[in-house]
Structure 1
Amino acid sequence: MADRLSAREVVALLADPGTFSELSYPSRESAPDGPLGWPGYGAAHARAAERTGERESVICGTACVGGTRAVLVVFEFGFLGGSLGERTGDRLEAAYAHARVHRLPVVPLVATGGSRMQEGMLALTQLQRVACESALTRRAGLAQVAVVRDPTTGGGWATLGAGADIVLALPGAQVGFAGSRVRPADADPAAYTAEAQVAAGAADALVRPEELRETLGRWLRLLTRPSTAPVPPPPALGRADLPATGRDAVRRARAPGRPRAAAYLDAFLTSRVSISGDRCGGTDPDGMLCGFGEHEGRTVAYAAQTGAATRPAGYRTAARLIRLADRLGIPVLTLVDTPGAANDAEAERQGAGAAIADLFTAVAEARTPLTTLVIGEGGSGGALALAAPGNTWATPDSYFSVIAPELAAAILKRPAEEVEGTADRLRVRPRDLVELGVVRGVAGAAVRTEEQPVD
């Protein structure tokens, strides 16, 4: 695809052999030179058809990809630059409608320069049709996984590409709203690449062409297995004994050798794929891990703090993950482990408060079951935003607090020697949290609420 494969070559690369079935398309009568009577448009259309063997800039059909059936929407860039016109819109509308009737995910494989100039505003309004079909498909609880090829620009990027639930990008592809002929002359071309879109959080991952069928098949399999049962809390990976004091709980949660989120995810999930980015220009790879994985044959969505201060982009990415999982009916596991939200000036400029508020809202609104395990530090609202109300558990190596004991002592104007006593008074230990009803129980320890009252 890096060499601009034709639409048929793309289908052959991705579809399981013998499974592609092209859809029937609506027929639309048009004037010889299109709706605007653009001189030479009819001849250009005919030449494009002769050169590519296609009658329009997109072909649509159903196929299995890695064993999962989906609707493929494949652009033919050789046909008038993969541009969108009225007939393109007809095909796209039919493809999305077919997906909803047959409950299939949609995979746009985009390679387009944007709207077709020779059809003027009638071409541009096809973006509204696409957006409407995408919204209806989203409302139906069906996944949309886009693959952006070279090039993906203009309205094709701003609807079929960037508007998908998951965006995979081919390395080296030109991807951006502004195409090469319309952007400022002094613009940095590196900003209009697949790599730049991944770095900015607008796309989830780069995938090489030879890995695309396997990767796309894994995504489709994971996103098409809804479940109503909550995820069980993962077993604790660290020490099994409970901390004796509040200060001991804090020390253990901050210990460098304690198991972190990646270790928990690797132990609990047999495989996983990651989403990246908040779709607002930010990523937080050092503070939040989000994606989908498999546990005992079921798909599990996960949002996991890594032990660092969580940045606004991390909260927004987690909210995006939870809303997607909720729409697809996939249960969610969250792992809490942060000293708190990032509180530097840049975090404030990036909207820390709004990002945390949005995550609280996403958790509160979720209909899919959420399960939370506190695996380390639970620092204030920056940790609580990720916790499932009524279904949060803790490990023996964790604590949860309204604020870090040191900061609590400072706020209360206590001397440094009173920090340890402050930790005890805050009742941050796992056992304290169970007694207070903040968590349901301690993973790997004989401490539970209701089922086994604490003495």
Structure 2
Amino acid sequence: MAERLTAREVLTLVTDENTFTELPYPARDGGPDGPLRWQGYDASRERAAERTGEQESVVCGTAQVEGVTAVLVSFEFGFLGGSLGERTGDRLEAAYTYAREHRLPVVPLIATGGSRMQEGMLALTQLQRVARQSTLTREAGLAQIAVLRDPTTGGGWATLGAGADVILALPGAQVGFAGSRVRPADADPAAYTAEAQVAAGSVDAVVAPEELRHTLGRWLRLLTAPSREPAPVPGPLGATDLPATGWEAVRRTRAPERPRAESYLDAYFTHRLPISGDRCGGTDPEGMRCGFGEHEGRTVAYAAQTGTATRPAGYRTAARLIRLADRLGIPVLTLVDTPGAANDAEAERQGAGAAIADVFAAVAAARTPVTTLLIGEGGSGGALALAAPGNTWATPDSYFSVIAPELAAAILKRPEREIEATADQLRIRPQDLAELGVVRHAAGDNLDRNRNRKHGS
């Protein structure tokens, strides 16, 4: 079990010294023992206040986190289990409204058991208020970074937590919609942990307490730096001369020594932070890298295929990344490198077609500029989904094809000896793609010189 810090201890942990200023809270008149006249409710609140020094289950205010000003919402679990009641909803609504009025990101530091039973359905409806405030803040283009403490369950997890743009968690924290007292008797406790939620694609990372301020500060800096300029195209890290034939292009691309996404990301970014998971129960750590990083002092979002078949969770994570960057006004860089989408039976059960469609839609709808570099294999629609129309570039050791030459030959019932000729017919080389207008430029190729001048490249 994670250490249970108080609301103010957590604020001290993550904020710069002497920068926290508590926000004023709305006043609310109420009858004895709350809206349901629950006998003993007032006495319970009084005892909670004496024990914790707080008047409600959340403390809200502004502070700097490594120099970045944010609105912070810190839950006090010692006050009736950090539960949400009407007064809690008042405070949360006021905090989110303040954030929008002052264009500040929001950082919920969550530790809650859910809605307050002594207020019945009126407590549960606070989740609707919270969801609306979170949605309005998202629509305003402001980042929300949640930190899950122990425990984060019930409606607090299903709104402030799971609804955030980036979700961090403390080690060992209980995280799940079902609290410990309402789970099935035979439920595996390990399934209700921060670590399990990371594995399931519902949380981005587990962060040790001593690293939390620095990690939060890095995320806040990255997500509060919009830019209207497209991400610059990375330079090629491998071959610089263009392939003579289609089959040579295929052979180069499949060479084990060819630079892959990790090398390009390391060379491109000063530092970067990953997001993980599709928020639908899946991850694709082997096939897709997504996150935000700093390039020449600017924030750039990235979605990068790694050279393997991309799984549905990878596509959904990429779509999530592109939509988040679009909301925050951050340019996107995509690196295309896959033999194609995973096509096994499990991938079909996981909704491969719908996941690929989601990426096509995210790229098509993006208002923020998207830049694409083809760094390896461009295998059919599973690769094209990440490619920006009109702003896709290609390295000399890459190819793009409607289908792999071997499969094309098989479909056409050609003998194996004609595979190489089929590769030429498909016109898959970088210079072929530039001539066809599929990519803007292939390094070492002058076919697209006029278009480059037109775009100021």
1:103 maps to 2:98: no
Whole-angstrom CA distance in 1 between matches of 2:178 and 2:452:
61
Amino acid at match of 1:207: V
Structure 1 residue identity aligned to 2:255 = A
Give the partner amino acid of 1:357: A
**Match for residue 382 of structure 1?**
382
Aligned counterpart, 1:205: 205
1:448 to partner: Cα distance: 3.0
Shift >4 Å, 4+ stretches: 444-447
Kindly provide the CA deviation profile for residues 117-155 of structure 1, in whole angstroms up to 9, marking residues without a partner as x: 000000000000000000000000000000000000000
TM-score (norm 2): 0.98
Matches within 5 A, 1:232-243: 232-243=232-243
Once the 2 structures are TM-superposed, how far is the Cα of residue 240 of structure 1 from its aligned partner?
A: 0.6
Partner Cα distance (2:446, 2:25) in 1 = 63
Separation in structure 2 between the aligned mates of residue 12 and residue 32 of structure 1, nearest angstrom: 35
TM-superposed deviation, 1:445: 5.3
**SS at the partner of 2:30?**
coil
AA matched with 1:360 = F
Alignment of 1:411 onto 2:415 = no
Q: Which residue of 2 aligns with 1:369?
A: 369
TM-score (norm 1): 0.98
Sequence identity (%): 80
Contact 1:146–1:166 (CA under 8 A) maintained in structure 2? yes
SS in 1 for 2:151: strand
Gap runs ≥5 in structure 2:
none
Cα-to-partner distance string for 1:362-415 (whole Å, 9 max, x where unaligned): 000000000000000000000000000000000001000001000111111111
State the 1:176 CA deviation: 0.1
- What one-letter code is carried by the residue in structure 2 that aligns with 1:334? T
Asked if the contact 2:440–2:452 (Cα under 8 Å) also holds between the matched residues in 1, the reply is no
CA distance in 1 between partners of 2:336 and 2:319 (Å): 14
Structure 1 contact 233–443 (Cα < 8 Å) conserved? no
CA distance in 1, matches of 2:452, 2:93: 56
Q: How does 1:279-428 map to 2 (within 5 A)?
A: 279-428=279-428
Asked if the contact 2:11–2:74 (Cα under 8 Å) also holds between the matched residues in 1, the reply is yes
Contact 1:289 1:303 (8 Å CA) reproduced: yes
Partner SS state of residue 24, structure 2 = coil
Asked if the contact 1:2/1:150 (under 8 Å) is kept, the reply is yes
Q: Does the residue aligned with 2:50 lie in a helix, a strand or coil?
A: helix
8 Å contact kept, 1:57–1:80: yes
Contact 1:302 1:333 in 2 (8 A): yes
Matches of 1:427 and 1:268, distance apart in 2: 30
The residue type paired with residue 319 of structure 2 is A
Instruction: In structure 2, give the amino acid aligned to 1:263.
Output: S
> Contact 2:440–2:451 (CA<8 Å) still a contact in 1?
no
1:129–1:444 CA distance, 2 compared to 1 (3 A) = farther
Conserved? CA contact 1:395–1:444, under 8 Å: no
In the TM superposition, residue 443 of structure 1 has moved relative to its aligned partner by: 3.6
- Give the match for residue 72 of structure 1: 72
Task: Tell me if the contact between 1:57 and 1:79 (Cα under 8 Å) persists in the aligned partners.
Answer: yes
Which residue number corresponds to residue 170 of structure 2? 170
Q: Does 1:155 align with 2:151?
A: no
Q: Could you tell me how far apart the structure 2 residues matched to 1:449 and 1:330 are?
A: 28
- Residue 335 of structure 2 aligns with an amino acid whose one-letter code is L
Task: Work out whether residues 310 and 341 of structure 1, in 8 Å CA contact, stay in contact via their aligned partners in 2.
Answer: yes
Matches of 1:232 and 1:433, distance apart in 2: 20
What amino acid is aligned across from residue 233 of structure 2 in structure 1?
P
Alignment: residue pair count: 453
How many angstroms does 1:232 deviate by? 1.3
8 Å CA contact 1:434–1:449 kept in 2: the answer is no
Q: How far apart in 2 are the matches of 1:182 and 1:367? A: 44
| Counterpart for residue 3 of structure 2 | 3
